[in-house]
């Protein structure tokens, strides 16, 4: 038995060196994994913040459109307001349907998040 630099008795030779090397490799792997998890968590927080900013932007944009349309309708003669309001409701409703349809089609073509394929497979 030999004595290591810290003064402890332990097994000597190649087996002890390999064991220390394996322990160091495991510790490096554990540290790398912790760093990767921290990066993933930071990316998740950035994504949540971006989604929140986008939602606030959409809400403010929606309010701006509603107020602009209401203002425009109030400036029309009283007998034309209901027809224009109905026409605008139809335009906005059809636009919403179109956006929903396009979103649904894109969601079906979406590839998995951690996929290594750069291009989706042909259909």
Is the pTM for the entire model greater than 0.75?
no
Residues 89 and 59 in one domain: no
Residues 22 and 57 in one domain: yes
The structure tokens listed for 95 are 């636009």
Q: Is the pLDDT of residue 7 over 60?
A: no
Segment 46-61, tens digit of pLDDT: 999 999 999 999 999 9
Which residue range is the domain that position 100 belongs to?
76-110
On whether residue 3 sits in a domain, the answer given is no
Residues 18 and 52 in one domain: yes
Bridge partner list, 10: 2
Residues 83 and 58 in one domain: no
State the total domains in the chain.
Answer: 2
**Section 9-30 average pLDDT:** 87
């Amino acid at each position: 038995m030999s004595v290591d630099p810290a003064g402890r008795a332990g097994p000597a030779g190649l087996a002890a060196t390999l064991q220390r090397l394996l322990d160091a490799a495991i510790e490096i792997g554990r540290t790398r994994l912790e760093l990767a998890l921290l990066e993933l968590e930071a990316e998740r927080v950035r994504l949540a913040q971006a989604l929140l900013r986008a939602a606030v932007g959409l809400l403010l944009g929606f309010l701006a459109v509603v107020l602009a349309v209401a203002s425009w309708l109030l400036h029309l003669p009283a007998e034309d307001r209901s027809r224009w309001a109905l026409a605008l409701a139809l335009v906005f409703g059809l636009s919403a349907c179109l956006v929903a349809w396009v979103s649904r089609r894109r969601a079906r073509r979406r590839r998995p998040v951690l996929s290594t394929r750069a291009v989706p497979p042909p259909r």
